[in-house]
Amino acid sequence: MEHHHWPGTDVSVSPICLGTAAFGATVAKDQAFALLDRFWQAGGNVIDTARAYAIWIPGGEGISEQIVGEWMHDRHTAHDMVVVTKGGHPAWEQMDRPRLQPDAIISDCEASLKALQLERISVYLVHRDDPSRPVGEILETLETLVKMGKVHWYGCSNWSPERMQEAMEYARAEHLQGLSCNQAMWSLAQLDPSALSDPTMEWVDEAMVAFHQKHRLPLMAYSAQAEAVFSRVEHQGWTALPQALQEKYDRPVNRALFNQIRDLSHASGYSVTTLALASLWSMTQWFCLPVFSTHRLDRLDSVIEGAQVRLNEDELTRIWRTLLDH
């Protein structure tokens, strides 16, 4: 896979990031190792994990990081990989109670370093926001981690555009490193945010698009394949989708976008999933790194094979016109 510079850092990364949220939960260790091997051997070099992944199963906190750390140690790949992890997530049974006090951020980071078997984390993100806490306090804590040599770059996940704007202004005024990226839920298939069960998650809506267009802050898009909804529609049709997916994605804009992607798929031979991801990594308005998760090697292979695909300006313009028209 061809690598591209991550703006605001000194690293170059593959066009896709391998997501590991299911590692240790629905993806066993040997299966995870196989996925990581295939991704790395194909030139993939950026991994997304988090302290809270698999927190929903007993004893699951940190298991994703632990598996990634064991794989890097076993394969001697730590120097090859850009590891993105996250901390400061609320306790699973207390999602309404933020955990961004300084000692929580620092202790989570130290636990992540131990699990990942790293001396320094490439990119460290706070997993949720606490709007009641001054943004300067959060940034100063992250800056402390940089000064301690535990973190190279930092950013946020599931923050509103308003809070990111405030963070950028504070960092500029105080001469801090500042945010290196935002991680939010986004895909070509446009989600109905009212169908989300977790109100602490942030979807890339019109306000966030405007924010990224203005500031060009790199975006890591999680759930980038939108639960493979376009692939499901291609094989089953819209009416055969499970009710939950219909509520999230059966919208006029997505029907129009699917028709465009299906036509591109027929013309190019690439899968609709690959082309939907390519619409994100081909963006020129700002740097976008889609996070792709799967438990199947054949699906990973399909995306890897299409990783060299870059939609041209005409194709991207038509997609954005469809988005704006709806």
Q: Catalytic amino acids? A: 53
Q: How far is CA 202 from CA 20, 123, 199, 230, in A?
A: 19, 19, 8, 22
Maximum CA pair distance of the chain? Answer: 54
| Tokens 């929580």, located at residue | 104
Query: Could you please report the per-residue DSSP string of 227-269?
Result: GGHHHHHHHH-GGGS-HHHHHHH-SHHHHHHHHHHHHHHHHH-
Name the residue among 26, 29, 40, 16 with its Cα closest to residue 66. 29
In this structure, are residues 261 and 226 in contact, taking their beta carbons and an 8 Å threshold? no
Going by DSSP bridges, is the β-strand pair 121-126/288-292 parallel, antiparallel, or unpaired? unpaired
Distance from C-alpha of 98 to C-alpha of 53, rounded to nearest angstrom: 16
Q: Is residue 166 classed as helix, strand or coil in its secondary structure? A: helix
Instruction: Give the separation between CA 233 and CA 244, rounded to whole angstroms.
Output: 14
Structure tokens at 187: 């895909």
Angle between helices 102-116 and 135-147 (to 10 degrees): 40
